């Protein structure tokens, strides 16, 4: 499945989102290609695996092309051998707020201490209810892209 991905990204102020979450899953992901303007990612999400291709960001980081295909767990494990930089390890919480569902990623390993919330939108101008656990908006700040966190983890930031 492919199309235009439109999302806004925020830092998270506290862990109140955990009590609001309807589900959570463990995610491990690595990058086969991790260059500016294009990424090819392999992801394990609990017991399912995906191959994702993303294009360059547009609209100040709000949108970009994304193609995603489910693959077998065996294929994913083999593709992890082709990954070029560090592996991202995180837990994703799904938190419904108004008409939207926020995806909150709590990172582990070299990115421990970082918690980021994303909300997917239909258009770049779409409004959404802002929950109290959101802090500073970081949409378009490349440091917070998972592809960048695999190269320069949060633990190495100044």
- Distances from the Cα of 32 to the Cα of 66, 88, 142, 151, angstroms: 15, 13, 18, 12
Helix (H) or strand (E) holding 77: helix 73-79
Quick one: which of 42, 8, 19, 16 has its CA closest to 127? 8
Residue showing tokens 């919330």: 117
The Cα–Cα gap between 64 and 137 comes to 18
Rounded to whole angstroms, the Cα distance separating 98 from 100 reads: 6
DSSP secondary structure string for all residues of 46-73? TTEEEEEEEEEEETTTTEEEEEEEEE-H
User: Has 93 been annotated as catalytic?
Assistant: no
Residue from 31, 93, 144, 145 carrying the catalytic annotation: 31
Would you name the residues annotated as active-site residues? 31
């Amino acid at each position: 499945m492919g199309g235009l991905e439109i999302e806004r990204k925020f830092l998270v102020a506290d862990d109140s989102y955990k009590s609001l979450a309807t589900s959570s899953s463990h995610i491990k992901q690595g990058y086969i290609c991790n260059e500016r303007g294009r990424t090819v990612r392999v992801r394990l999400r609990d017991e399912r695996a995906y191959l994702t291709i993303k294009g360059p960001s547009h609209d100040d980081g709000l949108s970009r092309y994304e193609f995603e295909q489910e693959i077998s767990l065996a294929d994913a494990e083999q593709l992890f051998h082709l990954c070029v930089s560090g592996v991202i390890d995180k837990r994703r919480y799904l938190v419904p707020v108004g008409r939207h569902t926020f995806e909150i990623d709590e990172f582990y390993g070299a990115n421990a201490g970082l918690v980021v919330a994303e909300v997917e939108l239909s258009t770049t101008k779409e409004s959404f209810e802002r929950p109290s656990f959101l802090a500073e908006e970081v949409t378009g700040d490349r440091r917070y892209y998972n592809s960048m966190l695999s190269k320069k983890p949060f633990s190495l930031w100044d």
